[in-house]
Structure formats: C-alpha cells, structure tokens
Amino acid sequence: MDTAALKYAVLGHPVAHSLSPEIHNSFFKLTGYNGVYYAFDVEPEKLGEIVQMLKKDFCGFNLTIPFKEKIIPYLDYIDDAAKKSGSVNTVAVRSGKLYGYSTDGAGLAGALKKEGIMLKDKSVLLIGSGGVARAALFEALRNSCSVCIAARNTGASSLLAADVKTFFGKAVDVCSLDEITGHYDIMINCTPVGMHPNTEGIPVTAETLEKCNVVFDTVYSPRNTKLLQLAKKLGKKTIGGINMLVLQGIASQEIWRGEAFSNEDKDKIIKMLSPENIILTGFMGSGKTTVGKMLAEKLGMDFVDADKEIEKKENKTISDIFADCGQEYFRRVETEVLKEICGKKGQVISTGGGAVLKSANVAVMKNSGKVIFLDVPAQEIKCRLENDDTRPVLQANSFDAVYAERIEIYKQTADKIFCGTDSKELAEEIYDFLNNIKRGE
C-alpha cells in the first residue's frame, strides 16, 4: 500500500454491498490521483469514535444509511443544500474541521438527465422519509416540482414536510403508502426496500406504479430491482440507482479535490462499472432460455433471447428465415443481431445453437462478457427435441452429425462449462460462480 496516498472512506451499517470503494478508487486511477478509499461498517453508537479518527487521518468521507442525518451534530460547517435537506452524504476534512455537503440531489438530477428527463416542474411521488428522501425532496423543490411524500412512517414524513415549509415556504402532500392517489410524472423510491441481500421486496403496489410515468429506484444493488422489473412489465420507463451513485460520488471528489471533472470522465466510470454480459451457449434444447431467464432474475439483469431478436428484426420465425432465405443468410443476420445486443452491458443473453460456428460471433460474445456453455448430455437433448419440428438444421441433418460437429466448438469457445440436466440447478450454480468471482474467491 502506498503510505503517501490520501485517504477517504464511506461509513454505513451495513456497508458490505457498497460500490463506493470501486467507484472512487477507479476514479482516482482514471484521473491519476494518489488516493485510496475504504468502506467502514460502523455500529451507530460508534459514530463519534470513528469520526475522531477520520478527522486526524483522512481527507474526506461519505455517509450512507443510517448516518446521513446522524453526522450533522459532528460538523463544523454545513452547506445550504445539506442544511435545507437535513441530509449530509459528503464530508471534507480541512485542518481538522468537518465540512458537510449533500451531493445526492445533484446525482439524482444528473441520472434523470442522462435518461433524457428533466426534473423541472414535474409532479413527483417520493417514497420514504429518510436521508435520501430529504436530499431528493430538496432537489425536486429546487426544480419547482409538486411533491407527495408517501412513507410507512407518516410521523417522519410529516416532520420532513414541516422542514420544507420552513425552508421553502411551500407545502407538500403527505400520505401513507396505502393512501396514494393521483398520477405522477416521476416516482422516486428513496427506501432501501429491495436492496441486497433482501432483494425480494417492493415498496409499493402495482396499482401505485400504474399511476406513474417514470419509476426511479435509488437502490443500485441489484441493478435491476424487483420494483424496476415490475414497473417495466407495466410499460413504465425505469431508471436504476447506479448512475445517481456514480454522479454523486464524482461530485464528492470535486468537493474534496477542488476541481471539476468532464462528462467524458464521468461516462468512463459509469461504463467501467456496468456489469459485463453473461452469454449462454449450447446445443438447441439445452435450456439456454429457461436457465437464462432464471439467472437474469437472480442477478437483477435484463434477459435477451438472440433468436427472438432475430425473429423481430426479420418479422419471421427462424424456420421461415431458413426456408425463405437459407442458412447463410440467417447466419449473417445472426451476426448483425449479436453485435447489436452485445453492444450493451448488464444482460444475460441466450444464443442460438449455431452461434458459435462463426468466429466473428465468438469474438463479439467474448468481448462483451463471459461465455458459458450449458453442457447437457446428448441423450437428454435428444429426448427434449423428439417431437420438436421447429429446428430447421435437424430437418436437414441427423442429430448425431450436428451434435458431433458442434460439441468441441462449444467447449473450446466457452469461458466456463456447466454440466447438468436441471435448469434451476444450473442457474443456481452459475449464480454462485459469478458471485464468487465478484468476491475474488
């Protein structure tokens, strides 16, 4: 470790899920800054103790749940945005004194802007009444939005509304989660419901989501929460919390380092942090679609079926494409579609059985993420395909010949091979494997 590196940290409880060290250390490296960033899991009653240590040895730190409000009594200075929102997520240490700021609002507005949505004059449904909700409320009111705060704890949300009245001279509506009425341009979830490791939770009902045009979830782990998945099924535009996290983090560094960073540098970090694709290969009938959907749900990622995308592009079934245009034409379209799909990140992709036959396809897949081969025994696949007459390759060739031609290619082109016949078990094994990689095991 470089003993001359300037030290920074995030305080939270829990904090193991935090991406802040990855974001900040990556940004230090990208900008050539000699800094190092830590994550400290702090018991709430120990906050004062660790703050004293940070005042002596650190240049700055961030706060996450549950410290965005608890840190305020320890500060020597608090800026206007943090004071009005009653929430601090960034502290700069200067000559032994603590200066508190809020960059959550800037991160929220920036994340919306990246999706082409301006916060100005919108109607906003805010879910929650904690530190994140306070920062989001301040930013919304600063942009002349009309706001309704819906929370489980109506006492806390009423106090928040009273603070707003004091600072802005403006009233906001308050209700419980089961009393939400009206329609809204944007819903912002500011609660930790749905956050890792308790990823099954959803803070509002489908009925509430139907009343909102855009659903923004400040939770970033997992990237695609159950809330976002449900909203997407209902046809709503969805936005996850990762860009907000990155942008508020970079705003923290601008405070600590006293310099502004370019949009280009910000975009580089966002791209670096996007999870790579998981591409499933295997013989037809090996369960790539079934396993892929299960895996995508567990990982909180989008699922894409390459063959379905080809059918959409051509407005024909795979069988009809083969019949009308031939296999060579199909393979050309397949390559085009794979390039398009793999140009995005954060997806589980199911490929067609013959996708690995072209080296160009393999190169595209490997550059996009991890290629995983589902090695299902030949006899099992034969049984699955016994009454399936939708496979044009098998109508022109014997199963054994096609399988023999492809099996070694699948193995040679895969980054990892998983064997088995149970789709649920395969999805579980792949999920565990990917999590172990993330933990460095």
Task: Assess whether pLDDT exceeds 60 at residue 416.
Answer: yes
Judge whether 145 and 172 are in contact, CB under 8 Å. Answer: no
Pairwise CA distance, residues 68 & 318, whole Å: 54
pLDDT number for residue 44: 93
For the stretch 346-385, pLDDT in tens is: 899 999 999 999 999 999 999 989 999 999 999 999 888 8
Q: Average per-residue pLDDT in the chain? A: 90
Q: Judging by beta carbons within 10 Å of its beta carbon (0-12, 13-18, 19+), is residue 345 exposed, middle or buried?
A: middle
Pairwise CA distance, residues 93 & 57, whole Å: 9
CATH code of the domain occupying 275-439? 3.40.50.300
Pairwise CA distance, residues 261 & 28, whole Å: 12
pTM, 2 dp: 0.70
pLDDT number for residue 437: 54
Is 339 annotated as catalytic? no
pLDDT top residue among 394 and 293: 293
Please identify which of the residues 46, 55, 56, 68 carries the catalytic annotation: 68
Do the first three CATH levels of 106-240 and 275-439 match, i.e. the same topology? yes
| Of the candidate ranges 56-65, 312-321, 386-395, the one whose mean pLDDT is the lowest | 386-395
pLDDT number for residue 197: 74
For the stretch 78-90, pLDDT in tens is: 998 888 888 899 9
Pairwise CA distance, residues 438 & 341, whole Å: 24
Q: Judging by beta carbons within 10 Å of its beta carbon (0-12, 13-18, 19+), is residue 1 exposed, middle or buried?
A: exposed
For the stretch 143-174, pLDDT in tens is: 999 999 999 888 888 888 888 777 777 889 99
For the stretch 335-353, pLDDT in tens is: 999 999 998 888 999 999 9
106-240: CATH homologous superfamily?
NAD(P)-binding Rossmann-like Domain (3.40.50.720)
Task: Assess whether pLDDT exceeds 60 at residue 440.
Answer: no
Domain boundaries, the chain: 6-102+245-267, 106-240, 275-439
Q: Judging by beta carbons within 10 Å of its beta carbon (0-12, 13-18, 19+), is residue 144 exposed, middle or buried?
A: exposed
> Which pLDDT band, with edges at 50, 70 and 90, does 436 fall under?
low
Topology of the domain comprising 6-102+245-267: Rossmann fold (3.40.50)
For the stretch 15-60, pLDDT in tens is: 877 888 988 998 999 899 999 999 999 999 999 999 999 999 999 9
pLDDT number for residue 439: 41
Q: What does the pLDDT average to over 257-273?
A: 85
Q: What 3-state DSSP class applies to 58?
A: coil
Task: Assess whether pLDDT exceeds 70 at residue 441.
Answer: no
Q: What does the pLDDT average to over 177-186?
A: 94
